[in-house]
Amino acid sequence: MRIKGTFLLTSCLIAMLTVLVALPAGAVPPDFAGGVANEYKYQEVVFLTGVPIKFSGTIKKTEKVKGDLKTVTYDFTLTPEDKSITGKFSRKMSYKISSSQDADVGQTLTETEVGTFKESITINGVKYDLKDLQFYKSDAIDNRPASDYYSGSIQGRKTYVINKNQGEVIVDISGGDVGYNNFWGSTETQILDYNISVTRAVEAADDLESWQGTVRVTASDSIDKSLQYNENLASLSSFNGSYTRVTRGEMASQYSYNLPTFVEGLADDSARNIDQIKLNAEKVPKVEKLLIPKFRDTGGHWAEDYICQLFSLGVFEGDAKFFAPDAPINRIDFIRALVRICDIRANQAADKTKTSKKAPAEVSPFADVPTGSADYQYVKAAVEKGLTTGVSGGQFGADLDVDRAQAVNMLVKALGFEDKAPTPGFSTSFADEDQIPEWCLDSVYVAAEIGLISGDSTNRINPQKVMTRGEASAMLVRFLNILQSDLQKDYRENIVLFN
């Protein structure tokens, strides 16, 4: 059917930030409209008679937390970027996000519902007021040691009235989100489908005309931390160069729409307006200078770059001169490094300095790592997260050397990928597979699939070979790269570009 007049089909459907109470602050698109923002400006696209119009302006966010309930309020003030179009866009909404945790399985569930809402959009004299909003969102979060992984489902409906009594716009919403969050980065990608139905009175006629359209919004927000090496410009200096940690934030979105064409203001379904619009916004990078490594025994060593990176980050310790890259790495040094890379925090309630006088003193389960040890909190965190256990006789085995199979097993568990191997009966491609302990076979398979390990020149992984501190540094840096970049690629580029 044909429609005369001006109609607003807004693709900015819900002004809400998906805040996961169980997660630390991370990257989340600022609403479910495909909008992008940096420190200075917010942008999103709305659809007027099938013609996309970009709006921009400001967005303000406030949060209140009480127990397991978080209330997030957003206030948008926008205008068309095309100054030939007269209009304004105001939206203020609050959403209540509740969470419940199951510590036994290491998972969290969140539920999001509408609190209050108010939205009004005027374009070229036609006003759209949000009369009703129904919205439900639920996320399941797997709280892994190195990363929290989550996915959610979304359903909703928005109903607008046009110029008080001249018709209405109904937008049905369906879709979901996926994301991860760790110390080194976070990404959330939302894919939402909007089915839009418009009914409106036609001027100089007694009947109503209607038309339909669809918009798919794919929006992604990412934060990542990376290391950059900077050569020292001065030659007469005590060091050759240093590392800088750079934190970047970027939002990207894509609108794919299918709307009727309009001829002289009338909708014509015989031809459809099908196209895409992309938005992008980057934040100013944050830079942090790191410690300067000055080891005398790593210059020219094949693992020098890996060692320097980890020392600069505070992952590895060492005296001012020597790292001993070819010496074996023991269990306590490897666990300390792994926990620091993951930024895992031990349960602070168990900290002796904060324990109530009435509570019994904490007792270490390991005789060789007492609670007074500087490494106790690292061991405790690793055991709590299921990364490792002690050896026989109530010992942690702090001074025992770590072999490659043990290291791979701990790293795969830290990523939360230990259950991603195929059904038992699979085989790896390594020539020395028969030397891989059965308890580690799943982890070795997964580690090879994600590029954490590879075979040597004879396609062997030498699972029972003791690792040197240099070899451990190389494997830990590869683990770090997965947290920094591989996850972001999987949760953003692979979804946005190829979905």
* Greater model confidence, 51 or 53: 53
Residue 67 pLDDT > 90: no
pLDDT digits (tens, 9 = 90+) for 358-376: 667 888 889 999 999 999 9
Residue 215 pLDDT > 80: yes
Distance, in Å, from the CA atom of 58 to the CA atom of 40, rounded to the nearest integer, reads 8
> What count of other Cβ atoms lies within 10 Å of the Cβ of residue 239?
10
Mean pLDDT in residue range 230-257: 86
- pLDDT mean across residues, the chain: 86
- Cβ proximity of 268 and 309 under 8 Å: no
Write down the pLDDT at residue 460. 94
Write down the pLDDT at residue 205. 52
Residue 221 pLDDT > 90: yes
Residue 229 pLDDT > 90: no
Residue 164 pLDDT > 60: yes
- Cβ proximity of 387 and 422 under 8 Å: no
- Cβ proximity of 16 and 32 under 8 Å: yes
Residue 12 pLDDT > 50: no
Task: Please report which confidence band the pLDDT of residue 234 belongs to, taking 50, 70 and 90 as the band edges.
Answer: confident
- Cβ proximity of 202 and 246 under 8 Å: no
Write down the pLDDT at residue 427. 86
Query: Which amino acid appears at position 198 of this protein?
Result: V
State the virtual CA torsion across 81, 158, 150, 257 in degrees, nearest 10.
Answer: -50
Distance, in Å, from the CA atom of 143 to the CA atom of 395, rounded to the nearest integer, reads 28
pLDDT digits (tens, 9 = 90+) for 411-437: 999 999 988 988 887 888 899 999 999
Write down the pLDDT at residue 358. 65
| DSSP states of 137-156 | EEEEEEE-SS-EEEEEEEEE
Write down the pLDDT at residue 320. 64
- Cβ proximity of 352 and 424 under 8 Å: no
Instruction: Identify the residue whose tokens are 């937008």.
Output: 171
Mean pLDDT in residue range 84-94: 93
**Positive or negative: CA dihedral 235, 231, 471, 370:** positive
The token pair that represents 24 in the structure block:
């630390």
Write down the pLDDT at residue 91. 93
pLDDT digits (tens, 9 = 90+) for 55-64: 999 999 888 9
Residue 219 pLDDT > 80: yes
Mean pLDDT in residue range 343-357: 52
Distance, in Å, from the CA atom of 464 to the CA atom of 93, rounded to the nearest integer, reads 58
pTM for the full model? Answer: 0.84
Beta strands in 283-411 (DSSP E): 286-289
Distance, in Å, from the CA atom of 174 to the CA atom of 197, rounded to the nearest integer, reads 15
Helix (H) or strand (E) holding 214: strand 208-231
What distances in angstroms separate CA 157 from CA 13, 41, 48, one per listed residue?
9, 27, 19
Residue 258 pLDDT > 90: yes
Residue 207 pLDDT > 90: no
Mean pLDDT in residue range 219-228: 91
- Cβ proximity of 154 and 175 under 8 Å: yes
Write down the pLDDT at residue 1. 41
Write down the pLDDT at residue 41. 94
Distance, in Å, from the CA atom of 341 to the CA atom of 483, rounded to the nearest integer, reads 9
Distance, in Å, from the CA atom of 480 to the CA atom of 474, rounded to the nearest integer, reads 10
What's the Rg (C-alpha) of the chain?
A: 28
Residue 391 DSSP symbol: B
Write down the pLDDT at residue 291. 83
Write down the pLDDT at residue 2. 40
Mean pLDDT in residue range 21-50: 77
Write down the pLDDT at residue 490. 87
Residue 141 pLDDT > 90: yes
Write down the pLDDT at residue 498. 53
Q: Which of 182, 176, 144, 183 is nearest to 420 (CA)?
A: 144
Distance, in Å, from the CA atom of 268 to the CA atom of 277, rounded to the nearest integer, reads 22
User: End-to-end CA distance of the chain, in Å?
Assistant: 32
Mean pLDDT in residue range 318-325: 79
Residue 21 pLDDT > 70: no
Write down the pLDDT at residue 7. 35
Distance, in Å, from the CA atom of 284 to the CA atom of 249, rounded to the nearest integer, reads 8
Mean pLDDT in residue range 464-491: 92
Write down the pLDDT at residue 206. 61
Task: Please report which confidence band the pLDDT of residue 209 belongs to, taking 50, 70 and 90 as the band edges.
Answer: confident
Q: Which of 191, 170, 14, 39 is nearest to 95 (CA)?
A: 14
